[in-house]
Structures are given as C-alpha cells and as structure tokens.
C-alpha cells in the first residue's frame, strides 16, 4: 500500500488556546500507482491531510503510513505541489528543478542530467535558462511538477495546483499533468475543490464533510482515459459522477 491513514484525527490549538479539530477519524488507503482525489467544502481539512502525508506535522491521533512506514517528518518519499508554484525567483528553471536534489549528496553533473530529463518530460525544452517570471503560469506549474518528479518520490501530493489558472490553461495543464503522471506511474493524491477536475483525473474520489472533516463517501471512477482528461471530459458519464459528488456534498440543500 502506498499510503495509509489509520483513524487519523488532527487538532490545532489557536493563539487564544481554543482547540479546533481539523479532521476527525479519517481512514483510507491509496494503492500504488493509483490517482486519488480528495474533495470537500473549503476549510474541511483537505490541506491538513496533505500536510500530514508530507510530514510537515503529525496527527494528534492515529497513524499515517507511506509505503508501510510511519511518517515522522518531512521526507523524500513524498513530493508536494501547491497552488503557488514555489519556484525560487532568483534561480533559472533548471536549477529550480535541481533544488530538491541538492540535499542528497548528488554530484553536480548527475543533478543537471536528472533535471534536464524531467524538464523534457514536462515539455519545457529550451526554457532551462529562463527565470520563473519569464514563464506563463501554466509553464511555471509544469516546472514545479518537474521539480517534484526530479526527487523521484513514491507519492505525489497535489494541493489545488490548477486553481490559480484560467479555464483553458487549466484544461491543458490537467491533460499534461495526467499524461506525465501516468507515464511515470506515480501514486498521486490530489486535493481539489473542483468536482469536475476530480472526476476527470482520478481513479477514486474521497468526499470530506465540513469541519471537522471526515470521509462521507468514496467514489470509484470507472472510466477510461485517466491519462487524458480532455478525452474523458466529453464522456456522458462524467456528469453523473459530478452529480453524485454534488449529492454527497449536499450542495443543493445549501443552495436552498
């Protein structure tokens, strides 16, 4: 199993001392090579799940296992990407991609070779010497994906990586991400509030409730073309899956 959550609860204490439960008793697992999305209303603890997987903080109760090992801190088994590309503006694209390799005692030449390979993988040939501000938002996210893939993580965590992009760029980038991820066969956990995106890109979708977040539904997306969301997009079943998600999130009740 690539990723396991065993009855995980996370509480935060804010400055005034009140305790706040972000997620409650969350259990799920993700198979190797699987693409799982987590959807839910804003503030439901989606990002908390991601941060615990990345080892940025520990659960208050329960266990998080990556490849069977408990997560005890930030580690190289997990690569994460946020809505912000987090590229270092003072570095060019290729050295940005190398960033994650620098604490590994890897030789300079090996690092460059690895980074250039990922650069090609993410269709950024010819842009290695550009600086982030010279690239479009979509290209910057592709560079961030290349940086994430360069460390060869066992799991890729994507925290709403497409939400800051315009509609067209978003579709193209979803397609290119899905293709690249399918090629590498990486296990992926996508956090998103875009229900369509979840249906187009995933094998399975976990629906979280409002805070304190807990899993209210698990939907298996039984559709082909996971590696090509643009093809999946035109399939009639997509609407049905989205409708199911709608129901679980009780969006109609809220609208009323």
Partner 1 sequence: MARYKTTLASATLLVLVLAAWEYLPTALEVPKFIIPTLSDCLVELQRMWAYEQLLGHTLSTALFTVLGFAIGSLMGAVIGYLLGMSAFWEKVLSPYILALQIAPKVAFAPLFIMWFGYNSMPKLLVTVLIVFFPVLVNVLQAMRTVDRDLINLARAYNLSRLGIFFKVEMPSTLPNLMAGLRIASTLAVIGVTVGELVGGNTGLGFLISYGGGQANAAMVFDAIVLLTVIGFVLYSALVRIEDRVLHYLPKAEQ
Residues that bind partner 1 (CB under 8 A): 54-56, 74-76, 78-80, 82, 84, 86, 88-91, 99-100, 102-104, 131, 133, 151
What contacts 221, CB < 8 A, 6 or more positions away?
A: 199, 202, 203, 204, 205, 241
Return left, alpha or beta for 233; rule: phi > 0 is left, psi -120 to 50 is alpha, else beta.
alpha
151 vs 158, which CB is nearer to partner 1?
151
86 vs 164, which CB is nearer to partner 1?
86
For the bound state, the minimum distance from the C-beta of residue 71 to partner 1, rounded and expressed in Å, comes to: 11
100 vs 229, which CB is nearer to partner 1?
100
Handedness of CA 37, 39, 43, 49 (dihedral sign): negative
**228, burial (CB in 10 Å: exposed 0-12, middle 13-18, buried 19+):** middle
For the bound state, the minimum distance from the C-beta of residue 151 to partner 1, rounded and expressed in Å, comes to: 7
For the bound state, the minimum distance from the C-beta of residue 183 to partner 1, rounded and expressed in Å, comes to: 23
For the bound state, the minimum distance from the C-beta of residue 150 to partner 1, rounded and expressed in Å, comes to: 10
104 vs 108, which CB is nearer to partner 1?
104
What contacts 67, CB < 8 A, 6 or more positions away?
A: 1, 2, 77, 154
49 vs 171, which CB is nearer to partner 1?
49
For the bound state, the minimum distance from the C-beta of residue 97 to partner 1, rounded and expressed in Å, comes to: 12
Residue 21 main-chain phi, psi, to 5 deg? -90, 115
Rounded to whole angstroms, the Cα distance separating 197 from 220 reads: 14
């Amino acid at each position: 199993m690539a990723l396991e959550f065993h009855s995980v609860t996370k509480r935060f204490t804010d400055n005034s001392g009140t305790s706040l439960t972000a997620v409650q008793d969350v259990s799920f697992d993700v198979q190797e090579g699987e693409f799982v999305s987590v959807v839910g209303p804003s503030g439901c603890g989606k990002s908390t799940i991601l941060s615990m997987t990345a080892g940025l903080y520990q659960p208050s109760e329960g266990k998080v296992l990556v490849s069977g090992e408990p997560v005890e801190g930030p580690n190289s088994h997990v690569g994460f990407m946020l809505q912000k590309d987090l590229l270092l503006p003072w570095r060019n694209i290729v050295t940005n991609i190398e960033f994650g390799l620098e604490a590994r005692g890897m030789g300079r030449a090996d690092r460059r070779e690895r980074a250039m390979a990922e650069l090609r993988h993410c269709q950024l040939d010819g842009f290695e010497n550009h600086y982030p501000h010279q690239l479009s938002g979509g290209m910057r996210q592709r560079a961030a994906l290349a940086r994430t893939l360069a460390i060869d993580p066992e799991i890729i965590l994507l925290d709403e990586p497409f939400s800051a992009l315009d509609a067209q760029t978003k579709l193209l980038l979803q397609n290119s991400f899905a293709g690249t991820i399918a090629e590498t066969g990486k296990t992926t956990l996508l956090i998103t509030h875009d229900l369509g995106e979840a249906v187009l890109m995933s094998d399975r979708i976990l629906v979280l409730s409002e805070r304190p977040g807990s899993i209210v539904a698990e939907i298996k997306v039984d559709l082909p073309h996971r590696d090509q969301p643009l093809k999946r997009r035109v399939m009639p079943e997509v609407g049905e899956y989205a409708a199911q998600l709608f129901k679980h999130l009780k969006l109609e009740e809220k609208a009323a």
